[in-house]
């Protein structure tokens, strides 16, 4: 399905975007693991999370849904009687492989055509070092058969800065003999660590060093999920670029391992106000006020230390960079080549197609901002963040961009068009 961008209106008022996808996946898995009662409020209602919920139910979680609250009874993980299909969700697939690798049963994990092209060797190798038995297609692609084993703790350096790899190891370590030590020098997102602390697991954190020992989760666990910063990022971009826009985004998660984009926007010259700062469990949250500022913004070279905490927002940052004066340079973002698509390749190809000057690097790109763009077909390869970023770009310029495969947006942000008041 294609979407053609065109006329658009300023964005005003108070908006709560989609709930946090990363925390939603993890909340369900903690509900599965927890011998006590888990209450989850405001779980993201999107296809990726729905698949994780169905798979957790197949693994033995009993889930009752009342309005915007889930009541989960877990602790008794059983062998699934069918394949665990995670659709497009790399988080669901990778974390579940870690969780299942230490359980005495056989599980088969797969996903859609896109997920089956994403690398799993990065989690399979450290889990096999722990003693896991995982059999995948050549070079570590899904489907994968996971045969539960008794595991032993290892020392692992998370030098690629992947929160999914780190989380898979930590979930395996919960049923592991001995201590597992993870060095995380790039400080990748830490939602799993926060939930482990909240649930009473045997975990200690010393700067970038994480130590976790085998322990069962048995607590009354209540998880309130904030609005997703990665979803809010699209509305922030639109409001900054669309004249007369002025919005307040409600209850947005502002975990510092996720909000590198705010620091990038400061480098661009934007002013973003965080209001009513609070916390949802151990997750910080705030209302975010943002208004039109395109004329005050300029491109900038982005320090590599900001890239890890802004990795999911790089496509929409690229769209902003294409819309403002000056040159923007992003390097150290090689991980983008292993997301739902090769995002570096698609960002550069699509920006070039609409007349924006850009240069591709192995680990990033350089963009020269443009005062106008031209109509073109936008290739997304079913990558929801590429699709949303170019819909934002076409809408603020009011130029006809034909954006392909927009059904992918439902996997993470089904209210995208409604929140932006765009025709759909």
- DSSP for 95-125 reads HHHHHHTTSSSEEEEE--TTGGGS--HHHHH
Active site residue 312: yes
Q: At 181, phi and psi to the nearest 5?
A: -120, 125
Helix (H, G, I), strand (E, B) or coil at 285: strand
Q: What residues contact 286, with CB distance under 8 A and at least 6 apart?
A: 252, 254, 274, 275, 276, 277, 278
Annotated catalytic residue within 190, 228, 312, 405:
312
Supply the DSSP symbol for 249: E
- Residue the block writes with tokens 């790089």: 314
CB atoms within 10 A of CB 278: 12
Q: Which of 166, 163, 115, 167 minimizes the C-alpha distance to 141?
A: 115
Cross-strand pairs, 301: 329
Among candidates 148, 147, 97, which has minimal Cα distance to 124?
Answer: 97
- Which of the residues are catalytic? 312
């Amino acid at each position: 399905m294609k979407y053609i961008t065109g006329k658009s209106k300023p964005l005003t008022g108070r908006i709560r975007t989609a709930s946090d996808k990363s925390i939603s996946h993890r909340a369900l898995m903690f509900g599965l693991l927890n011998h006590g009662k888990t209450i989850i409020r405001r779980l993201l209602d999107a296809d990726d999370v729905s698949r994780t919920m169905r798979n957790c139910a197949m693994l033995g979680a009993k889930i009752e849904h009342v309005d915007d609250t889930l009541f989960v009874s877990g602790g008794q993980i059983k062998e699934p009687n069918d394949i665990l299909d995670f659709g497009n969700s790399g988080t669901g697939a990778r974390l579940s492989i870690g969780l299942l690798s230490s359980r005495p049963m056989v599980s088969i994990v797969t996903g859609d055509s896109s997920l089956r092209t994403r690398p799993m060797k990065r989690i399979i190798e450290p889990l096999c070092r722990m003693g896991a038995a995982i059999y995948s297609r050549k070079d570590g692609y899904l489907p994968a058969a996971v045969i539960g084993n008794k595991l032993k703790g290892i020392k692992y350096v998370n030098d690629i800065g992947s929160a999914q790899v780190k989380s898979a190891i930590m979930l395996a370590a919960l049923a592991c003999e001995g201590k597992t030590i993870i060095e995380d020098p790039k400080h990748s997102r830490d939602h799993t660590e926060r939930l482990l602390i909240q649930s009473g697991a045997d975990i200690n954190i010393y700067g970038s060093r994480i130590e976790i020992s085998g322990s069962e989760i048995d607590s009354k666990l209540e998880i309130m999920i904030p609005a997703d910063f990665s979803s809010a990022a699209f509305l922030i971009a639109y409001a900054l670029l669309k004249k007369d826009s002025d919005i307040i985004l409600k209850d947005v998660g502002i975990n510092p391992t996720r909000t590198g984009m705010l620091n990038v926007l400061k480098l661009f010259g934007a002013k973003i106000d965080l209001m009513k700062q609070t916390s949802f469990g151990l997750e910080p949250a705030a209302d975010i006020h943002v208004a039109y500022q395109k004329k005050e913004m300029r491109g900038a070279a982005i320090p590599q230390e900001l890239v890890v905490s802004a990795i999911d927002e790089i496509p929409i940052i690229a769209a902003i960079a294409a819309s403002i004066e000056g040159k923007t340079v992003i390097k150290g973002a090689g991980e983008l080549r292993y997301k739902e698509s090769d995002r570096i390749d698609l960002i550069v190809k699509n920006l070039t197609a609409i007349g924006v000057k850009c240069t591709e690097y192995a680990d990033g790109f350089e963009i020269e901002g443009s005062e106008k763009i031209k109509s073109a077909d936008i290739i997304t390869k079913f990558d929801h963040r590429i699709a949303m970023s170019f819909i934002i770009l076409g809408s603020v310029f009011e130029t006809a961009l034909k954006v392909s495969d927009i059904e992918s947006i439902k996997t993470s942000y089904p209210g995208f068009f409604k929140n932006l008041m765009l025709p759909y």
